[in-house]
Amino acid sequence: MRRLVVLALVACGSSGGSPDAGADASPDVVSVDAHADVSQVDAGSDGADAAVGVWQPGTGNLPWQWELDHTIDTTSAADMGTGDDTYTGASAAAPVVYDIDGFDNDVTQVSSLHGLGKKVICYIEVGAAESYRPDYAQFPTAALGNTVDGYPQEKYLDIGNATVLTVIEARIEMCSQKGFDGIEPDIDDSYTDDTGFTITESSNVAYLVTLSTYAHSLGLAWGLKNGGDGGTPTQFVSDMLAHVDFAVVEEPFFLGTIGYFHPALYNAGKAMFVAEYTNDTSSASSFCPQALTDHTNAALFDVALDGKVRTPCY
């Protein structure tokens, strides 16, 4: 599985320094905003291609937990992210959204979270393949490219290969069958990387639109994963905006890439789930005031995403 590998600090124009006015912009918000919708609703009127019934998180406060290291234990306070404190030291609201691994977790874990009134996002890779996944052998050898930097068990995929599309769509169907509410598609911006294949921004977007349309046809929300750490991020985010229902973004405040995502996602009514990491950021107080002003659901995690560290902004 991929984490953000920071090779250089990127400057990107806006850092969200011109806060939007609004009642939910205060840094001391500690409760779940009523604007946040964790129910299944129809797609909005912003041009999104989501089918009726697809979860639309909205732009209110949605505390979340990101745990990819192992099968989630719903009896564990650490895994569930309960009992945490915010960056101010106040008691944090319990997460209402859980982003967990699609292979490691089964219908049992998803059903348990649903029974607690939570929404559940399915983490899968769509631009690379991990050799330890049960479907790895289904990818043609010719469609496996360069090794992902920092992850020796992962190789980039030729996203223009028809078989690759079929296998990834099967991953999406797996998430649907397990009862997940949405998809976090990791390595969805492989056009920015040294994959071993010729992948353009436009071909990358076309691939993702196909996957998004398929996910929506199964009643699943589709996310944007990063997209601001190379290539042409402003164009990429703009091109994907009508086809995603939320975004999961790593370290936009540390990297200075928040301007690629805000206010575009907020203005389109899309939720943004932000993860900053302890290996680069020692304290959530360094980003939480701005994260709250920018209407993001931000938290500080350890890079292992193992449930041991979670300091949310509210």
Within a domain: 228? yes
Within a domain: 273? yes
Q: Which domain holds residue 116?
A: 64-71+78-312
Dist CA 312 CA 87 (whole Å): 6
- Number of structural domains the chain divides into: 1
Dist CA 260 CA 189 (whole Å): 14
Which pLDDT does position 290 carry in this prediction? 98
The model's pTM:
0.87
> What's the one-letter identity of residue 132?
Y
Half-sphere exposure of 301 (CA within 13 A, CB side): 27
Contact present, 36 and 58 (Cβ < 8 Å): yes
66 strand-pairing partners? 99
Within a domain: 230? yes
Dist CA 55 CA 267 (whole Å): 18
Residue-by-residue pLDDT tens, the chain, 314 positions: 444 543 333 333 333 333 232 333 332 233 333 334 444 333 333 334 445 689 999 999 999 999 999 999 999 999 999 999 999 999 999 999 999 999 999 999 999 999 999 999 999 999 999 999 999 999 999 999 999 999 999 999 999 999 999 999 999 999 999 999 999 999 999 999 999 999 999 999 999 999 999 999 999 999 999 998 899 999 999 999 999 999 999 999 999 999 999 999 999 999 999 999 999 999 999 999 999 999 999 999 999 999 999 999 99
State the DSSP H helix or E strand holding residue 66, giving kind and residue range, or none if neither.
strand 64-67
Rounded to the nearest 5 degrees, what angle is found at the Cα of 123, between the Cα atoms of 80 and 88? 40
Contact present, 137 and 114 (Cβ < 8 Å): no
Within a domain: 15? no
Which pLDDT does position 293 carry in this prediction? 96
Contacts of 248 (CB under 8 A, 6+ apart): 66, 99, 121, 184, 223, 224, 225, 226, 273, 275
Which pLDDT does position 34 carry in this prediction? 33
Which pLDDT does position 229 carry in this prediction? 86
Half-sphere exposure of 255 (CA within 13 A, CB side): 25
Within a domain: 42? no
Contact present, 222 and 247 (Cβ < 8 Å): no
Within a domain: 160? yes
Q: DSSP characters for 174-230?
A: HHHHTT-SEEEEETTTGGGS--SS---HHHHHHHHHHHHHHHHHTT-EEEEE---SS
The structure tokens 């009134």 sit at: 117
CA torsion, ordered 244, 129, 308, 15, to nearest 10 deg:
-40
Rounded to the nearest 5 degrees, what angle is found at the Cα of 143, between the Cα atoms of 229 and 208? 45
Dist CA 247 CA 211 (whole Å): 15
Dihedral sign (CA 145, 180, 247, 241):
positive
Within a domain: 99? yes
Within a domain: 301? yes
> What's the one-letter identity of residue 149?
D
CATH for 148? 3.20.20.70
Which pLDDT does position 5 carry in this prediction? 42
Which pLDDT does position 233 carry in this prediction? 96
Contact present, 115 and 80 (Cβ < 8 Å): no
Instruction: Give me 62's structure tokens.
Output: 């949605």
Which pLDDT does position 51 carry in this prediction? 57
Which pLDDT does position 10 carry in this prediction? 34
